Structure 1
Amino acid sequence: MTNQTTSHILMVRPANFGFNPETAENNFYQQRDEREADEINKIAQQEFDGFVSLLQDKGIDVLVIEDTDLPIKTDAIFPNNWFSTHQDGKILLYPMFSPNRRLERRKDIIEILIQKGFRISEIVDLTFFEQDNQFLEGTGSLILDRINKVAYACRSQRTHKTPLGYFGNLMGFEVVDFDATQVVNGILSPIYHTNVMMHIGTEIAVVCLESIPLASEKLKVQEYLEKTGKKMIPITAKQKFQFAGNMLEIQNNLGSKFTIMSDSAFQSLGDVQINTIKRYTEIIVPKIPTIEKIGGGSVRCMMAEIFLPLL
């Protein structure tokens, strides 16, 4: 049976968290900070540790990997972009836009998963697309409805059509791709990652439909969500800027389901939106303001789901 959620999460504790100018080129959520690098990393570690504790307190299995000091990887805290795991034992390695983020791919992390008793049947390496400047950044680019085998993706400088189609054919997913935009400093720009504006849980779908400019594509997304039985929870562009689209549903070892969202996302939502989510899952709300501000990513980006079968 295919599950939408897992109780096994991998997270990377940062060694050199900071502002990445390479990714800031198209991630408008990142903001520079004048504090010392050591201080920023220390605060990020505290936010990270608090987040892990919240998950573990609910009975969720969190495998914490320590980032290596060298090479310096400011975004190592966001492992969901370089790999994904699947119930058939596959691990996929993804082509990434930023050359300095490609350093995050670590063979030893895959070896640790094997040591922890997970079975890997195949490692599928899609990083060859980088040679042609074609990118697909894991579950940042792909919002996977694993139960219905649908992959939602907004096209951008980090999500190209060719690797997207390749993923769909390889994994047997129907691809629903579309353009999604946002206004930043008065300029209309593509949304760089789909997981900024969309989340799929077992029974719910949180989506910023107003960021999809083309009516036909907006309708296509709605139709797919409806026909796969998802309860749609629309969010506004303003809420999206508070990372309200960047959620993840996971379960604990007893099968209880949780929706994880940051404090800024939670504070941006209205009562009706929160109560709808609570009808299906409990909500866990970590506070990660420094990670969000400087890294330009939120809770979903920090959690790599482990769907691999156990030996």
Structure 2
Amino acid sequence: MVQQTTSTVLMVRPANFGFNPETASNNFYQKKDSRPAKEINDLARVEFDAFVKVLQEKGITVLVVDDSEEPIKTDSVFPNNWFSTHEDGRLLLYPMYSANRRLERRKEILEYLINTGYLVNEIVDLTFFEKDNQFLEGTGSLVLDRVNKLAYACRSERTHEVPLTYFGRLMGYKLVDFDALQAVGDQTMPIYHTNVMMHVGSELSIVCLDSIPLASEKLKVQEFLEKTGKRMVPITSKQKFNFAGNMLELKNKEGRKFTVMSATAFASLNKVQLQAIQRYTEIIVPEIPTIEKIGGGSVRCMLAEIFLPLV
């Protein structure tokens, strides 16, 4: 039976975490920091280790892989963009917008999964799209309803229609694609990743409907969420900028469900929204301010879900 939620995640402990100018052109959540590189990386590692610990204390299995020192990979802490795993034993590799982020695709990580006892039946390599400048950045671009075989995706410089359609046909997913926009200064720009503005759990969905300008597309997203029985918790654009859309539902070995969100996201939500989430799941709240501010990603981006069967 297909599961929406896993009890196992893979996380990559950063070796050279820092600001990436290549991704900053369309990730407006990144902020430059004048502190020394070593200080920033040390802070990121402290935040990372504390995050791992809080997940493990709840009974969630965390597979920790250390990033390699060379080549330098400032965003290695966000592995969900370059691979995804599936219950049929398939592991997908994704085409990525930033050339320096493609270095994060390490065969050692795939070998680690296999050596740990996970069954990889097939590695599906979609990275050939990169030569045509076509991108689809894993579960950043795709918010998957695995049970109902739906892939929610907002189109952007990192989520192109051709690889998106290819993914849908390959994996048997129906695409719920749409435009999602945000105000950046006096400009209106596409939201670079779908998981910035929405999250889908087993019974719950968090979505910033305000960011979808077309009424027909807004309605389409609502209808699919309602049709699949998801209790919808709307968030505002301001809450989205505080990473309130960047959540992930996990479970522990006993099947108890949790919604993981950062302290920044948690502080931005009101009492009614939090109560709605807590009706279905317990909330886990790690503090990752350095990673969020400089990396421009939050907790969901740090968690690569492992759905592969054990041998």
TM-score of the alignment, normalized to the shorter chain, above 0.5: yes
Q: Is 1:55 aligned with 2:55?
A: yes
Alignment partner of 2:140: what SS?
helix
Q: Which residue of structure 2 aligns with residue 10 of structure 1?
A: 10
- What is the distance in 2 between the residues matched to 1:223 and 1:288? 34
Aligned residues: 311
- What is the distance in 1 between the residues matched to 2:285 and 2:234? 19
Alignment partner of 2:278: what SS?
helix
TM-superposition CA deviations, 1:73-113 (whole Å, max 9, x none): 00000000000000000000000000000000001101100
Q: Which residue of structure 2 aligns with residue 210 of structure 1?
A: 210
Q: Is 1:192 aligned with 2:192?
A: yes
Matched-pair identity in %: 72
Alignment partner of 2:279: what SS?
helix
TM-superposition CA deviations, 1:20-51 (whole Å, max 9, x none): 00000100000000000000000000000000
Q: Which residue of structure 1 aligns with residue 201 of structure 2?
A: 201
User: How do residues 291-306 of structure 1 correspond to structure 2 at under 5 angstroms?
Assistant: 291-306=291-306
One-letter amino acid of the structure 1 residue matched with residue 184 of structure 2: V
Deviation at 1:290, TM superposition (A): 0.4
TM-score using structure 2 length: 1.00
> Aligned Cα RMSD in Å?
0.3
Deviation at 1:130, TM superposition (A): 0.2
Q: Which residue of structure 1 aligns with residue 168 of structure 2?
A: 168
Deviation at 1:246, TM superposition (A): 0.0
One-letter amino acid of the structure 2 residue matched with residue 247 of structure 1: M
Deviation at 1:147, TM superposition (A): 0.5
Q: Which residue of structure 2 aligns with residue 233 of structure 1?
A: 233
Deviation at 1:133, TM superposition (A): 0.2
User: How do residues 1-311 of structure 1 correspond to structure 2 at under 5 angstroms?
Assistant: 1-311=1-311
One-letter amino acid of the structure 1 residue matched with residue 305 of structure 2: E
- What is the distance in 2 between the residues matched to 1:186 and 1:220? 28
Deviation at 1:186, TM superposition (A): 1.7
Deviation at 1:182, TM superposition (A): 0.2
One-letter amino acid of the structure 2 residue matched with residue 252 of structure 1: N
One-letter amino acid of the structure 2 residue matched with residue 297 of structure 1: G
Alignment partner of 1:152: what SS?
strand
Alignment partner of 2:183: what SS?
strand
- What is the distance in 2 between the residues matched to 1:190 and 1:9? 29
- What is the distance in 1 between the residues matched to 2:307 and 2:247? 18
Alignment partner of 2:176: what SS?
strand
One-letter amino acid of the structure 1 residue matched with residue 64 of structure 2: V
One-letter amino acid of the structure 2 residue matched with residue 5 of structure 1: T
One-letter amino acid of the structure 2 residue matched with residue 158 of structure 1: R
Deviation at 1:140, TM superposition (A): 0.1
Alignment partner of 1:5: what SS?
coil
- What is the distance in 2 between the residues matched to 1:129 and 1:148? 27
One-letter amino acid of the structure 2 residue matched with residue 174 of structure 1: K
Deviation at 1:277, TM superposition (A): 0.4
One-letter amino acid of the structure 1 residue matched with residue 252 of structure 2: N
Alignment partner of 1:280: what SS?
coil
One-letter amino acid of the structure 2 residue matched with residue 258 of structure 1: F
One-letter amino acid of the structure 1 residue matched with residue 276 of structure 2: T
